[in-house]
Amino acid sequence: MRSLARTTTVVTGAVLVAFHGWLFASQLAAGSLADPWLVFRWTMAIVLIAALAAIRRDGDSTWSRRGIAVWVLAALLHGPAVATDFSDANRLAPPETATSLLLLASGTVIAVTLWVLAGVLARRDRRMCLDAGLVAAASLAGPFGDGFSPRYFSRPPPHQR
């Protein structure tokens, strides 16, 4: 199950990177990067990627409190792009960006669900292994298995009459 979750996460991440690479290349080819607001959004995207990399480098998860804050900022960064695609009210078909975002969102939901499931299973397996190891160590060590010896009270030798 962990292998499936890892594979799904890697594939989803690769699709996400490929989509954004294609989007950047198409905007570059179309000359859209002359817009300072668009350049600012791409710059902020690079800053958010660097922030996620720094969180990982510090040893935290990208789903920690700091990571979630970066993900929220990334979601806010996508707001103007989605609003621009939905600004034309005469179109009946959903725009390509919205369709792509829906596909990526569904893949992300599946990847996150499998990732959480793998984490729960790993924690359960680790806890079961630890419990089994402690039981085995206690049975082998006898009364000294928990690391403490029984109390020893010294007393004087019995009186001889």
Which pLDDT value is given to residue 148?
55
- Domain boundaries defined on the chain: 2-87+94-139
- pTM (2 decimals)? 0.52
Q: Taking each helix axis from N to C terminus, what angle separates 36-57 and 2-30, rounded to the nearest 10 degrees? A: 150
Which pLDDT value is given to residue 11?
87
The 10s digit of each residue's pLDDT in 29-67 is 988 888 888 899 999 999 999 999 999 999 988 888 888
Which pLDDT value is given to residue 128?
64
Average per-residue pLDDT in the chain? Answer: 76
Contact 153, 159 (CB under 8 A): no
- Does the pLDDT of residue 91 top 90, yes or no? no
The 10s digit of each residue's pLDDT in 93-145 is 555 666 677 777 777 777 777 777 777 777 776 666 555 555 555 455 555 54
Q: How far is residue 71's CA from residue 49's CA, in Å, rounded to a whole number?
A: 10
